[in-house]
Structure 1
Amino acid sequence: MATTTASQVELSIYDRDLDRNPANYQPLTPLNYLDRSARVFPEHIAVIHGPLRRTYAELYARSRRLAAALTAHGIGRGDTVAVMLANTPEMIECHYGIPMNGAVLNTLNTRLDPAGLAFCLDHGEAKVLIADREFSRVVSAALERAGVSPLVIDVDDPVYTADGTILGQIGYEAFLEKGDPAQDWAMPADEWDAISLNYTSGTTGDPKGVVYHHRGAALLSLGNVITGQLGQHPVYLWTLPMFHCNGWCFPWTLSVVAGTHVCLRQVRAGTLYAALAEHGVTHLCGAPVVMQLLLNASEDERRPLPRRVAFLTAAAPPPQAVLAAMGKAGFDVTHLYGLTETYGPAVVNAWHRDWDALDDEAKAARMARQGVRYPVLEGFDIRDPETCESVPSDGETMGEAMFRGNVVMRGYLKNPSATQAAFAGGWFRSGDLGVKHPDGYIQLKDRSKDIIISGGENISSIEVEDALFRHPAVSAAAVVARPDEKWGETPMAFVELKAGATVEADALIAWCRERLAGYKLPRKIVFGELPKTSTGKVQKYLLRERAKEE
């Protein structure tokens, strides 16, 4: 039987003489959002940090200076510029200035230990490292371990008054002076060009480098505007770390609507309420721990809010009691879901007004669901992990949460096998297991990857187990998530000791502290024989149930 090749297909009338050209096609990039706001609202306040106020014209000029200075230093397309920064104005400028140069922004997790940071610097082949003085100790130790020798640029934030050492060859402000703000910045040659690199722990302790492209960042930024109902000139409070999924793309989102970034170096109840009250904050994103800070604040720390505040949260769905308390305190909570591989949240529990009339139990059941796709995500479904077929919408049949669309990562840097496995079947496989309800809303039931999400940060159970296994008294260890009112989840370890060996829980935790970042430490250790299958595999589902009772 004869087949017709693509070259033999007759062109339609719309395919003739209607080609792409510079007048009708430009690559999508979030960098254009800042360009527009700086031209349309040049005097509008873009950034607030302590006593500092910067307009959109100033933010744009400083970002262009950074791009030009990087170019003068020999940095260009495809080079990695790593940053170890708090939620400060410099971090916002890096989200624009680095990709304006054509380079790739790598935001480093400020909670990582030296070994983890050294891995990221080496794997990403960092040419430049911009680091805040607060993190000088861990950065210095990481540089001693790393094989790369990047140019180190110091950020000396006047708001930070504690100890810290200047490590680099030049200060950030002096480096900006080397750049010309009038120099044209580099549009991406292709919207598929990499814009940022984000490391995630994945299913093992080895970080994987998630690569974002300009197109995805531009679209997710627009999705945030729609889902978060930002409107014109919102005032956004930074509690979510900008190193985490590029702050869910909100550094770029705010420029779409000429919003104001209110920066916070540290998230404390008093500073939260002060910023909310003084600056008229309209929106913030945060992990459940931020809700607990707000709700548990003392009377001295609280301030009357001038308006209701939209609070976007991810991780585990907040309990009904917490949502009710947040509402009473002046916050409207929206529950989101996503992964580093999807540019942060790409799914929202879109609320129906008629659900407000439900009783508390039925309302809580609706709130427990992760929801439906963002408008800028083409596909989100629960599918059979073996066949990749969609499971029935019965609220019972388990499958894997899968994503498809333009806000899915390019892949894992220098890891083709992991990339191919993640995209097997033409969908991004999250590793999260769940069900699909009759109305199409999705609810997660378990994590096949055994990742623990504590305070919005991913913790690999395997990494914690590996640290425990290294202790000479430990025969076997299994780590699972334990529900925590403040952090959402924390690691809990079940440990089998070698015959005749003894060790106290505090000693084991101290052992782990020497090998892990502080937030990864098990908060509780239980000693005893681990439940196993006939083949010797630890039955973690039984341990998860025990963890809920401990």
Structure 2
Amino acid sequence: MTGLGFWRLAADDPGAPAVVRSDGTIVSRGELLAWSNGLSHLLKSLGMTAGDRAVGVVANEPFALALALACQQSGAYYVPVNTALTAAEIAYIVEDAAPVALFTSSRFARVVHEAALAGRIAPEVCFSFGTDDGFQDVRTVLPRHPVYAPADRTPGAFLGYTSGTTGRPKGVARKLATGDPDDVFEAGARWQLGMFGIEPLASGVHLVTSPLSHTAVSGLAVTSLHFGHAVVLTESFDPEGVLRLIQDQHVTTTHMVPTQLHRLLRLPEDVRSRYDVSSMRNLVHGAGPCPEAVKRDMIAWFGPVIWEYYGATEAAGTVIDSFEWLERPGSVGRAQPGAEVRILDASRNDVPAGTSGAVFLRMGAHAFEYRGDPTKTEAGRHGDFVTVGDVGCIDDDGYLYLLARVSEVIVSGGVNIYPAEIEAALLAHPDVRDAGVIGLPDPEWGETVCAVVEAVPDSPLALSPAESTPPLLEFLSERLARFKMPRRVEVVAALPRGENGKLRKHLLPDLIAK
């Protein structure tokens, strides 16, 4: 089959539904195409050239998808920013990305305006999808620009920010492709969606259950548009609401994180049985470990339509379907098409099957660099392979099993949380002498954040930990996004540090009161 790629499909059938808003109203392919083209011309009027960046701090609304599409045909990097971040955290990314334009939704306009000021972004390049102080209204600006395709179309890409354990995010920038954007993104869709058994067109409907501010979520939604699927948006994850949408919109594909699967399974049986989910053909999950019981129950409920992937912003990884997983529970699958996975020891030699070691993924044509950080770029590389700090093993048939995260990243609800950031915020408090942050197992979230704190002697925190913890958390709330906030704070006499000054984090769980 030929003729895929959103712009091609929209020109062929402009009346077909492209996006279903959270309120149920429909945006046609023709409307979305006009917005995408208008935004492309807007970016070019601001001086956008290939390799420049546009930042979006956006809600789940059609303009967010139009912005991503505009970048994809303008040779621009689209940088989606987590909407749960504080103004200071957004400002750091915005200043680092140095965008040609900054876009936001009305819901986040206040915090993004504060971030734009801190990140020294000129007001004339700040746009909102509404009427908000400090921003130009995209709805007013777009009519000044053509609705036809821009000249010299060239492929753009997503640029996601990730940070490992350093606490400061870095943009993962890949070399831009060349050629016709329709051809490039058709090929990309066939690779990305094809590995999950997803077929083009065929009345496909993709449900978005997580914020479009996450690269994987936005990427899959836009890729679904390139495959001819309609995209259904939700404002937030409501378990019963998701089931209702699957039934009413005849949803065929979706992407979820294990926490969402867990919440679906917690619904009462009479609620679960109330909805017909038989239209679902491909339920893809990733972004964190999934408990075996959760996965078994989901397969029993939805049928063998559950697919899992493992990978990173930096490189492609593995994929596994329901049948394979039932034969090898706990595995995250074999290498994705065109990918390769190796397990290396500390000397970066390959280890035998069944032996644990560092997981390395081949970059291949997707070679990247951390924007502005060549040292970090090289640190995790070994030839054409890169590691993000995970430990695992591969069996004789090539199936990967993840064992641990050397990087100490806390994965809560499918979101990576970096302890170094939280520790730095804790150490800024006058009553905190030392701090260590770890993840504690949680049946719903996968992990939750626990702060282990050594208080300054004779300080209020040392003398009255219970009474002093709420003010400490209030102090942190001004510096950290809500999802990074510790769910538990444990005050101890001293943290275990070695003679070299390094915190021995593996000993922290023993200090936590049971």
Q: Same fold (TM over 0.5)?
A: yes
Q: Does 1:304 align with 2:275?
A: yes
Q: Does 1:541 align with 2:506?
A: yes
What are the equivalent positions in structure 2 for 1:109-508 lying under 5 Å apart? Answer: 109-150=82-123, 151-156=125-130, 166-188=132-154, 195-215=157-177, 218=185, 221-233=189-201, 234-247=204-217, 249-297=219-267, 303-309=274-280, 310-330=282-302, 332-342=305-315, 346-352=317-323, 356=326, 366-377=328-339, 379-386=340-347, 388-393=348-353, 395-408=354-367, 410-503=368-461, 504=465, 505-508=469-472
SS in 1 for 2:164: coil
Quote the offset at 1:203 in angstroms.
1.8
- Contact kept in structure 2, 1:198 and 1:211, CA below 8 Å: yes
Structure 1 or 2, whichever has the larger Rg, is: 1
Which residue of structure 2 lines up, in the alignment, with residue 13 of structure 1? none
Which residue of structure 2 lines up, in the alignment, with residue 15 of structure 1? none
Write the distance in 2 (CA, Å) between the matches of 1:213 and 1:280.
Answer: 37
Quote the offset at 1:166 in angstroms.
0.8
- Contact kept in structure 1, 2:341 and 2:359, CA below 8 Å: no
Quote the offset at 1:280 in angstroms.
0.7
Write the distance in 1 (CA, Å) between the matches of 2:298 and 2:471.
Answer: 39
Write the distance in 1 (CA, Å) between the matches of 2:482 and 2:329.
Answer: 31
**Which amino acid in the other structure matches residue 490 of structure 2?**
V
Provide the aligned length of Structure 1 versus Structure 2: 492
Query: Closer, same or farther in 2 for the Cα pair 1:169/1:134, shift >3 Å?
Result: closer
- Contact kept in structure 1, 2:196 and 2:321, CA below 8 Å: no
Query: Closer, same or farther in 2 for the Cα pair 1:184/1:511, shift >3 Å?
Result: closer
Write the distance in 2 (CA, Å) between the matches of 1:242 and 1:534.
Answer: 45
Higher mean C-alpha deviation, range 492-501 or range 129-138: 492-501
What are the equivalent positions in structure 2 for 1:32-43 lying under 5 Å apart? Answer: 33-43=5-15
Quote the offset at 1:100 in angstroms.
2.0
Which residue of structure 1 lines up, in the alignment, with residue 31 of structure 2? 58
Query: Closer, same or farther in 2 for the Cα pair 1:424/1:533, shift >3 Å?
Result: same
- Contact kept in structure 2, 1:201 and 1:459, CA below 8 Å: no
Write the distance in 1 (CA, Å) between the matches of 2:388 and 2:418.
Answer: 15
Quote the offset at 1:390 in angstroms.
1.7
**Which amino acid in the other structure matches residue 453 of structure 1?**
V
Quote the offset at 1:546 in angstroms.
6.9
- The normalised TM-score by structure 2 is 0.88
Which residue of structure 2 lines up, in the alignment, with residue 22 of structure 1? none
**Which amino acid in the other structure matches residue 401 of structure 2?**
Q
Q: Does 1:524 align with 2:488?
A: yes
Write the distance in 1 (CA, Å) between the matches of 2:78 and 2:361.
Answer: 27
Write the distance in 2 (CA, Å) between the matches of 1:438 and 1:185.
Answer: 52
- Contact kept in structure 1, 2:91 and 2:115, CA below 8 Å: yes
SS in 2 for 1:177: helix
Q: Deviations over 1:464-499 (max 9, x none)?
A: 111111222222211111111222111111122233
Write the distance in 1 (CA, Å) between the matches of 2:416 and 2:385.
Answer: 22
Q: Does 1:512 align with 2:476?
A: yes
SS in 2 for 1:499: coil
SS in 2 for 1:83: strand
- Structure 1, unaligned stretches of length 5 or more? 1-30, 157-164, 357-362
Query: Closer, same or farther in 2 for the Cα pair 1:154/1:248, shift >3 Å?
Result: closer
Quote the offset at 1:401 in angstroms.
2.9
Q: Deviations over 1:400-457 (max 9, x none)?
A: 333332244x211121221122334331222212222222212222222211111121
Quote the offset at 1:306 in angstroms.
4.5
Write the distance in 1 (CA, Å) between the matches of 2:47 and 2:498.
Answer: 57
Write the distance in 2 (CA, Å) between the matches of 1:524 and 1:169.
Answer: 39
What are the equivalent positions in structure 2 for 1:61-100 lying under 5 Å apart? Answer: 61-100=34-73
Write the distance in 1 (CA, Å) between the matches of 2:359 and 2:293.
Answer: 29
Higher mean C-alpha deviation, range 233-242 or range 107-116: 233-242
Write the distance in 1 (CA, Å) between the matches of 2:255 and 2:227.
Answer: 17
Query: Closer, same or farther in 2 for the Cα pair 1:375/1:400, shift >3 Å?
Result: closer
- Structure 2, unaligned stretches of length 5 or more? 179-183
SS in 1 for 2:33: helix
Quote the offset at 1:232 in angstroms.
3.2
Task: Give me the CA root mean square deviation.
Answer: 2.7
SS in 2 for 1:167: coil
Write the distance in 1 (CA, Å) between the matches of 2:26 and 2:382.
Answer: 48
Which residue of structure 1 lines up, in the alignment, with residue 181 of structure 2? none
- Contact kept in structure 1, 2:317 and 2:361, CA below 8 Å: no
